Amino acid sequence: MKLHSTNAFVIYAKKMNEADLLLGYVTEDYGRITCFANNARKSRKRFLGKLEPAMLTKIKFYEKPGMTIDILYEVELVEDYKNIRKDIDAYLFISKIIEISRVLCQERDKNKNIFKLIRSVYSGLNGITDARGMNNINTILLKYEIYFISHLLRYNGIFPNFTSCTACSCANRHNNFYFSLKKGGVVCKDCAESEVRRGNQWDLKGIPVNFINLSELMSGSDISITNKLVVSDEILRECLLFLGNFLSFHTGNKLNYTGLNIQGV
């Protein structure tokens, strides 16, 4: 077996018995991996206090040829975003980040952009919650969620097409097309009416005002854009509802934002 080392964020944890854990990580160098941690809940030196969300850790793990599950050997704390864990709103928010990452990130997909995205969101949020009295945390979290989802969709190659009709390819010059979840992009009026005649009107959605410009702006910028944008909560919620519908359709199920199942770690 070969020993590997990389920075990682935990996105999943499940008790196997009284002492062992099965852990999912988004890593800097190996994409998403799954590790078996022997005696993790009792080993103070190797694991205790280092397996919680909102922590950046350096993990060492053994990869066994032919096996899909690696063996976790040791965990070291690199960055502790403790302000997030102290703030209930921020902590509940990262449960969304964790769940979306768990569903969308592919095993062994070595896309460093996804790791960097999670790190930038955690770092930014940790700083904001440290100065909570100076900010409207709910508005900030709405913008962070749109920022995260927009980037993650791009990095996975499934960001919706808004530039041209997915059926006839005519340009969407005035951002007034419908959106088809089934086709994963915008549909012009003529093609939309054709869809309705076929009985597929349930698949067509209206696009929230300013959603295209907002998502395009966020997905092309770094995390600092969330502090500069002035957008009403109503528009932000409309955008998130749209993104939620898109994610649910793409993944085939409604995402569960109940958080990590790490009890007694």
CATH number assigned to the domain comprising residue 55 = 2.40.50.140
In one-letter notation, the amino acid at residue 83 is: N
Most confident residue range from 8-12, 17-21, 213-217, 242-246: 8-12
Domain assignment present for 179 = no
Most confident residue range from 20-34, 94-108, 228-242: 20-34
Domain assignment present for 15 = yes
193-252 per-position pLDDT tens digit: 888 888 776 678 888 878 888 888 887 889 999 888 889 999 999 998 888 888 888 887
Domain assignment present for 232 = yes
45-94 per-position pLDDT tens digit: 788 889 988 999 999 999 988 888 999 999 999 999 999 988 888 999 99
Q: What is the pTM of this model?
A: 0.88
Identify the pLDDT of residue 46: 80
Q: How far apart are CA 60 and CA 30, in angstroms?
A: 12
| Residues sharing a CB contact under 8 Å with residue 112, sequence separation 6 or more, in sequence order | 28, 29
Q: Do the Cβ atoms of 182 and 200 come closer than 8 Å?
A: yes
Domain assignment present for 147 = yes
Identify the pLDDT of residue 135: 57
Domain assignment present for 192 = no
Q: How confident is the model at residue 37 (pLDDT cuts 50, 70, 90)?
A: very high
Residue 263 has pLDDT above 50, yes or no: no
Q: What are the strands, taking DSSP E only, across 151-196?
A: 178-180, 185-187
Identify the pLDDT of residue 251: 81
Residue 261 has pLDDT above 50, yes or no: no
Number of domains in the chain: 1
Domain assignment present for 173 = no
Dihedral class, residue 175 (left if φ above 0, else alpha if ψ from -120 to 50, else beta): left
Q: Which domain holds residue 68?
A: 2-158+212-251
Identify the pLDDT of residue 265: 47
Q: How far apart are CA 154 and CA 170, in angstroms?
A: 22
Identify the pLDDT of residue 66: 82
Domain assignment present for 20 = yes
Percent helix, strand and coil across the chain, each rounded to 5? 40, 25, 35
Identify the pLDDT of residue 119: 96
Domain assignment present for 74 = yes
31: tokens are: 């994409």
109-168 per-position pLDDT tens digit: 888 999 999 999 999 999 887 655 545 788 899 999 999 999 999 999 888 888 899 989
